[in-house]
Amino acid sequence: YIDPSLRAAVAAAEAAAMAGGPVDEAPLRSLLKPTGVAGVWRLQLFTPRFCAELREELDHAAASGVPIRRPNGMNRFGAILEAVPGGLGMEGAMRHLAHRYGRPLSQMAFPSSVGLRDADEHYGFVVRYRPGEDESLAEHADASVATINVNLADGFRGGRLTFKGTRFVDADPRNAPAAAVDFEDFAPGEALLHLGGHYHAAEPIQQGERTNMVLWLMGEHGVVRVAPYERGERGRTTPLRRWGGAEASGRWEALLRGEDGGVAGGRERDEL
Structure confidence by residue, pLDDT tens digits, 142-185: 999 999 999 999 999 999 999 999 999 999 999 999 999 999 99
Total number of residues shown for the chain = 272
* The pLDDT of residue 234: 86
Whole-number percent of the chain with pLDDT over 70 = 90
Question: Does the pLDDT value for residue 271 go beyond 90?
Answer: no
The DSSP letter of residue 107 is H
Integer Cα distance of 41 and 174 in angstroms: 20
* The pLDDT of residue 23: 97
* 25, 41, 111, 175, 215 from 200: Cα distances, Å: 29, 14, 21, 12, 16
Integer Cα distance of 235 and 65 in angstroms: 46
Region 203-213: mean pLDDT is 97
Integer Cα distance of 121 and 212 in angstroms: 20
Integer Cα distance of 222 and 159 in angstroms: 29
Q: List pLDDT tens digits, range 42-101.
A: 999 999 999 999 999 999 999 999 999 999 999 999 999 999 999 999 999 999 999 999
Integer Cα distance of 221 and 117 in angstroms: 11
Q: Report which of 238, 186, 240 is spatially closest to residue 212, judged by C-alpha positions.
A: 186
pTM: 0.89
Region 189-210: mean pLDDT is 98
Ordered alpha helix ranges (H), the chain: 4-18, 26-29, 48-63, 91-97, 103-109, 239-242, 252-256
Question: Does the pLDDT value for residue 254 go beyond 50?
Answer: no
